[in-house]
Structure 1
């Protein structure tokens, strides 16, 4: 079997979870996927695919600002550290390729995971990288990296209506871009409603914990049944029942699929992977974008303006705001199937 290296960025859990359908697609089409990442992204995929070979890559060690207003500048001062990690990544990937004779690479936003000797794919929903007044610069730099790959797969449709908006669609076309359709590890199932609300957290610290503490405080005034998934991937799963709330540190794919389908409403970040999951399952939700993260703020505003999902700033969240969910139409189910055989033809 041809070996394909699959390497998601460790930035929250979104990049890793949207690689799950890709890994399954590779297996179903006779390839041998090999996982490479770091941190919680690597741990998550090792739990999902315990029989697959995996490698640890250098961490980008991206740290968020406590204050959302400082997000951009906190990111900019970390650029030298990120570039250093990318260079280390390139060296390790070159050694892995030489030792294990790979036939292709799929990188989800890991800038250093490519090879001039092998077909290499870059996955991103951000052809435009929004950073406020410096968006032109970050977009230009990102484009330079994208063009090092044979193909760039955008997990969205090319035409309107679409999910990524201006993030995944540029006025100037990029030659190696392919729109492959939204990626989701989840499937819509007909089930009885068990939970009135599902809280789904992920993302880098300290913002994940800040939001967790705020929501727990607000839920004291909530009467319905709640399943609360903290998004903290650890060696063992923990489950704790406190009153009307069932807490999980993390769930594997089959468990989270069940929880999604059994929940009436979802309270979560407006990350793009979550957006794709909600669209696949035709769910209603409430978004709280990560403070200062332009991408999530853009998506939250986009779906609010379109009358699909309500949202608010993290500091303004009150449990009563969930009453707005019924005033919005929610996502329409997305049933478009990805042609894996055609995509993997590159290899």
Structure 2
């Protein structure tokens, strides 16, 4: 059985959550190739150096500098996104014809399907979150996404079938079309850090190496803006801190304070050890990160990407569930981080 895996290139989360899926395909004896663009290549090279990588066109997304511009940015870039979808579909058809793949596995790439193959699509967003002012249009978003997913044979949702799971209303939708609803398969949260292996990392009661550990992710310029805000705050907080910059393949590191350790990227075991050795973790509430942090039992402060309504929804719902605390990016400071961290100590278990 030959399988081609193609994750979306909007940050590394889509690629990281395919890692346990790829491992499972390999355990079943399948031949797996990877269709990559951008920094996914370096990430996969560290995890699966033996697998062939095929470079394909990416979406090359760069978020607006101000979060409130996101709806206008989406409208402005709609034609570009449609062109990439058409291009990736043609690439998928060509690769299926030339290499004879049995399964095409797409993580949120709408166009990555081909006639004659079994086409699997993975997403946690059956419902696309809209800004509060436009929430009445979410039904239209559900219908549009359904129209895109109809091209696939199976829809895999990395969450629990029982509401609310981890993603709440994003991953749980009732469809009037029974035939389409039968395509939906809840496969449980997917993390490269399996709970079975979590015990081998530093125990919860061990002395913590880092007071704060920040995990950066997502497209520019928001990734850099997040990093700069954290560096300013950490410079004023006593103790050792670390930032994993989310830049696999990058060689250079910027100068910073002696009590702040920077990593461009850490491989799976080292990443997990860093998280388990941190008292508090600061990150975006991207869904892949949420799944990882749940498995690693991290105490999280989530900072949604400005204007990214999915992360705002996930951050709020996880805070209400007592799993994490929430800050906006403009609130980041030494005082706010310390106050929020203290509140984490009394969170619900």
* Same fold? TM cut 0.5: yes
CA 1:103–1:182: 2 relative to 1, 3 Å = same
CA RMSD in angstroms, aligned pairs only = 1.9
Which residue matches 1:81?
80
| Per-residue deviation, residues 210-267 of structure 1 (Å, max 9, x unmatched) | 1111110111111121121111222547597741111011122222122112222100
Contact kept? 1:10, 1:41, Cα under 8 Å: yes
Contact kept? 2:63, 2:222, Cα under 8 Å: yes
Which residue matches 1:96?
95
Which residue matches 2:191?
184
Which residue matches 2:340?
324
1:110 aligns with 2:126: no
Match of 1:284 among 282, 299, 305: 299
Contact kept? 1:9, 1:41, Cα under 8 Å: no
How many residue pairs match? The answer is 331
Which residue matches 1:64?
63
Q: 1:79 and 1:231 mapped to 2: Cα distance?
A: 27
Equivalences for 1:286-325 in 2 at 5 Å?
286-322=301-337, 323-325=339-341
| Per-residue deviation, residues 5-31 of structure 1 (Å, max 9, x unmatched) | 111000111001001111111111211
CA 1:49–1:238: 2 relative to 1, 3 Å = farther
Which residue matches 2:16?
17
1:168 aligns with 2:183: no
Contact kept? 1:105, 1:119, Cα under 8 Å: yes
Q: 2:24 and 2:258 mapped to 1: Cα distance?
A: 41
Q: 2:327 and 2:308 mapped to 1: Cα distance?
A: 14
Q: Give the unaligned 5+ runs of structure 2.
A: none
1:77 aligned counterpart, secondary structure: helix
Match of 1:254 among 269, 276, 286: 269
Equivalences for 1:119-134 in 2 at 5 Å?
119-132=118-131, 133=134, 134=137
Contact kept? 2:301, 2:326, Cα under 8 Å: yes
Which residue matches 2:247?
232
TM-score normalised by L of structure 2: 0.90
Which residue matches 1:28?
27
Q: Give the unaligned 5+ runs of structure 1.
A: 333-347
Which residue matches 1:338?
none
Contact kept? 1:239, 1:248, Cα under 8 Å: no
Contact kept? 2:243, 2:261, Cα under 8 Å: yes
